[in-house]
Copies of this chain bind each other. A is one copy, B any other.
Amino acid sequence: MNTFGRLFRVSIFGESHGKGVGILLDGVPAGLPLLPEDFQADLARRKSGAKGTTPRREDDIALIKSSVFNDKTTGAPLLILFENKNQDSSAYDLIKDKPRPGHADFTALQKFGGFNDYRGGGHFSGRITLGLVAAGVVAKKLLGTVRIIATILEAGGNEWIAENVERAVAEGDSIGAILECRATGLPVGLGEPFFDAVESLLSHIIFAIPGIRGIEFGAGFASARMKGSACNDPILDANGTTATNHAGGINGGITNGNELYFRVAAKPTSSISKEQTTINLQTGEQTSLVVKGRHDACFALRLPVVIEAATAIVLADLMLLEQNLSRVVR
């Protein structure tokens, strides 16, 4: 299903080397000021060109195709389209028969009977996160004073990120990273019991981002090695302020008013120019592959704004749900 969310609903579409990518947003309240330039700052953060990201220059202009009238949202579904330009598909003819290790090439081919658009990963490309970033811009506007900030904690195994990237580029290799996202200013009560726990919704959308391999909330995996007496966060006041925050701001799947935070593991970019072993699907024989084309040595460098967007989408949806006057009969 290409759709996510309950009141604030995002539907994604597009391919890396097709006509474009984008997002259709349903449930955006009416009267929200929205201009094309509102997207620029976050799109720039996601943009390629930095050391360790691909040289492909993406214009990434958000074309608002519906729902905005007199510079404000109308309450109708909002389509944001990014046209593809500057793509070079020549390097991809190769891939058709030689699935890249670590990529969706093989699984997409099998699942869609060979009809998938394999160029640049097609619908499985990281480029599709452009729509997510655009949705995040709208979502952030709905979040008022809530602040969401994602950062890279480490890349290539430690915090010397720039050096590690440079070395990977030089080697024709790639590196992964661990990121952290923190949200402050949240009310108590976001999230639904059981299936729509905050962690369930956040992990659902975060794992939709290509290349994510793990997520942990609060103390995460470390909490599995703590005793309850150390892990439980003492409650200090009637607002629910806690002395520690091993819970990452969530109890029972519901925000407790403390800072929400989680960490995410991004694997190294799968496309590398080092020689790899794969199969030639035409011949059925093993073969070696050197991926050409333009690729990030560390795609995680682009991820902070994507993770913020994903987080904002979930929190905006939950805030809309919670602002419902009839949650509790009074």
- Asked if B174 and A15 sit within 8 Å, CB to CB, the answer is no
- Asked if B29 and A328 sit within 8 Å, CB to CB, the answer is yes
Of B113, B195, B237, B270, the residue contacting A228 (CB under 8 A) is B270
Closest to A324 in B: B324
8 Å CB interface, A172-225 against B: 173-178, 188-189, 191-197, 199-201, 203-205, 207-208, 210, 212-221, 223-225
A50 → chain B closest CB, angstroms: 18
A215-B203 CB under 8 A given contacts A226-B268, A234-B101, A253-B104 = yes
Q: Which range contains the number of A residues in contact with the other chain?
A: 35 or more
A136 → chain B closest CB, angstroms: 15
- Asked if B326 and A224 sit within 8 Å, CB to CB, the answer is no
Chain B contacts of A277 at CB under 8 A? 234-236, 243
- Asked if A199 and B207 sit within 8 Å, CB to CB, the answer is yes
Chain B contacts of A227 at CB under 8 A? 156, 168, 171, 173-175, 268
A225 → chain B closest CB, angstroms: 4
**Contact of A14 with B by CB under 8 A:** yes
Chain B contacts of A231 at CB under 8 A? 102, 176, 267-268, 270
Contact with B along A106-123 (1 / 0, CB 8 A): 111011110111010111
- Asked if B216 and A252 sit within 8 Å, CB to CB, the answer is no
**Contact of A304 with B by CB under 8 A:** no
- Asked if A9 and B1 sit within 8 Å, CB to CB, the answer is yes
Bound: A103/B231 CA distance, A: 11
How many copies of the chain does the oligomer comprise? 4
A133 → chain B closest CB, angstroms: 14
Q: Which of A72, A112, A115, A237 has the most CB of B within 10 A?
A: A115
Chain B contacts of A74 at CB under 8 A? 15, 112, 115-117, 122-123
**Contact of A54 with B by CB under 8 A:** no
**Contact of A293 with B by CB under 8 A:** no
What are 13 of the A-B contact pairs (CB < 8 Å)? A1-B6, A2-B76, A2-B77, A31-B115, A75-B116, A76-B116, A101-B235, A102-B233, A216-B216, A231-B268, A231-B270, A238-B279, A323-B325
